[in-house]
Structure 1
Amino acid sequence: MDALAIINKYYPEDNELRHILLTHSRSVADKALWIADRHPELELDRKFLEEAAMLHDIGIFMTDADGIHCHGDASYICHGYLGADLMRKEGFPRHALVCERHTGAGISLQSIIDQQLPIPHRDMLPVSLEEQVICFADKFFSKTHLDKEKSVEKALKSISRYGEDGIIRFNRWCECFL
């Protein structure tokens, strides 16, 4: 699989949105690979980590987020499952799961229902170690401040809106991955 070829297909123009996606995704991929190198005992699939981290936000162009030059119709929270649909269409179901499960620290079906989120009613929690590592790594990088890695405290604050379960998962990942 060629992650850049897929990005080129959906982001063909050399514009600010493509720059944001590539810069953010590269930062997430590098952090995920750093975790893999730091924890060889986890036996993470490095090739998959890099590919999936580069593609985890492929669906952002279909959402409405002016601050990052996205002018689609869907709410930004939909970018995960929309990206997953693209990856399934491209024939990469494993990569699709990363797209779908990386928002927040994952979102449970109950949280989706309780918060009345405009996303499909199913658990969207990272399951595999690779899914968990990419989800965790993603929390350290925003798309609006591309040049900075967030502290653990700021990363934790950014996921707190998705409920207590996400905070618990994130804290467990800190113990496992840092």
Structure 2
Amino acid sequence: MDVQAVFNKYYQPGTPLYQSVWSHSRLVAEKALQLAKAHPELNLDLDFVYEAAMLHDIGVFLTHAPSIYCMGDKPYICHGILGAELMRADGYPRHALVCERHTGTGLTVDDIIAQNLPLPHRDLCPVTLEEKLVCLADKFYSKSNPDREKPLDKVRQSVARYSEDSLRRFDEMAKLFL
């Protein structure tokens, strides 16, 4: 896979949106690879980890989030599902799963129904080790402050705002990789 070519298919190089999403994705990929290399016993697919981390937010341009230069018409919460659709259409079903399962610490069908989210009524939680790793690494960076890694305590506080379940899922991923 040529990650740059896939990215350039959907984002115009040189634009603020391109810079925002590419920079964020690069930091997530670097963090994910750093953690993967610290755990050779897990036998993670490093090429896939890199590709998936670089493309996990590929669908964000279709959402409406002006503060990060996204001028689409869909709610931001849908960016994972939208990215998954793009990845499946491009022939990357495994990457699609990372896209749709990285939001928060994953979303259960109960979360989706309880919060009335505009998402399919099915579990969207990371399953494989690679999916969990990209999901975890993503929590340490935001697109609004892309150059600053959040400290672990701040990430935990942020995740805990959503639910105890969300924090539990985060802590399980952290136990695997941190």
Q: Does residue 10 in structure 1 map to residue 16 in structure 2?
A: no
> What code does the residue aligned with 1:88 have?
R
CA contact 2:20–2:146 (8 Å) conserved in 1: yes
Larger displacement relative to structure 2 (27-36 or 158-167): 158-167
Structure 2: gaps (5+ residues) = none
- Deviation string 1:40-68 (CA, Å, 9 cap, x unpaired) is 00100000000000000000000010110
> What code does the residue aligned with 2:118 have?
P
Equivalent in the alignment of 2:47: 47
Equivalent in the alignment of 1:131: 131
Equivalent in the alignment of 1:22: 22
Which runs of structure 2 are paired with 1:54-93 in the superposition (5 Å)?
A: 54-93=54-93
> What code does the residue aligned with 1:162 have?
Y
CA contact 1:111–1:162 (8 Å) conserved in 2: no
> What code does the residue aligned with 2:127 have?
V
Distance apart, 1:160 and its partner CA: 2.5
- SS where residue 113 of structure 1 aligns? helix
Structure 1: gaps (5+ residues) = none
Aligned mates of 1:151, 1:173 — CA distance in 2: 16
Distance apart, 1:29 and its partner CA: 0.3
TM-score of the aligned structures, taking structure 1 as reference length: 0.97
Aligned mates of 2:66, 2:157 — CA distance in 1: 22
Runs of 4 or more above 3 Å deviation: none
CA contact 2:109–2:122 (8 Å) conserved in 1: yes
Q: Does residue 174 in structure 1 map to residue 159 in structure 2?
A: no
CA contact 1:107–1:162 (8 Å) conserved in 2: no
- Deviation string 1:109-135 (CA, Å, 9 cap, x unpaired) is 110000101111110000000000000
How many residues get paired?
Answer: 178
> What code does the residue aligned with 1:5 have?
A
CA contact 2:13–2:19 (8 Å) conserved in 1: no
CA contact 2:23–2:146 (8 Å) conserved in 1: yes
